[in-house]
């Protein structure tokens, strides 16, 4: 038995960096945002916290401008379970998480 994963491309941060941080056009941003909301709703229904959601953990499918996949569930945990004292990458933490 083996698990087969799709080959994914650049993450959102690297994509933006390679395009001189030009914002995504709205025609591409809407489907990306919709997929992200679908992902977060799925995780919420299953009481899963990602704990490290950031542009580097959102990958684009090769050959597309607006199809994405969320990766890196290494810090994820169940809603009422405290596995790590570390939550989120430092540069993406909100002030209330830092307190």
More confident residue, 32 or 97: 32
The catalytically annotated residue of 14, 28, 52, 72 is: 52
Does the active-site annotation cover 52?
A: yes
- Residue 1 located in a structural domain: no
- Residue 7 located in a structural domain: no
pLDDT of 11 > 70? The answer is yes
pLDDT of 98 > 70? The answer is no
- Residue 32 located in a structural domain: yes
Residue 92 belongs to domain with CATH number: 1.10.510.10
Q: Please report the pLDDT score of residue 84 as a whole number.
A: 64
Q: Please report the pLDDT score of residue 96 as a whole number.
A: 67
Which range of residues forms the domain containing residue 69?
Answer: 12-98
- Residue 41 located in a structural domain: yes
What's the structural domain count of the chain?
1
Give pLDDT tens digits for 29-84. Answer: 999 999 999 999 999 999 998 988 999 999 999 999 899 999 999 888 898 887 66
- Residue 74 located in a structural domain: yes
Q: How far apart are CA 98 and CA 53, in angstroms?
A: 16
Q: Please report the pLDDT score of residue 99 as a whole number.
A: 59
Q: How far apart are CA 97 and CA 94, in angstroms?
A: 5
């Amino acid at each position: 038995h083996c698990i087969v994963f799709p080959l994914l491309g650049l993450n959102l941060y690297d994509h933006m960096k390679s395009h001189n941080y030009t914002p995504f056009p709205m025609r591409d941003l809407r489907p990306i945002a919709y997929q992200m909301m679908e992902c977060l709703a799925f995780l919420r229904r299953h009481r899963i916290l990602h704990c490290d959601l950031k542009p580097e953990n959102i990958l684009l499918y090769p050959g597309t401008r607006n199809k994405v996949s969320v990766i890196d569930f290494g810090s994820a945990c169940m809603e009422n379970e405290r596995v790590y004292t570390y939550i989120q990458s430092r540069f993406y933490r909100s002030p209330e998480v830092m307190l």
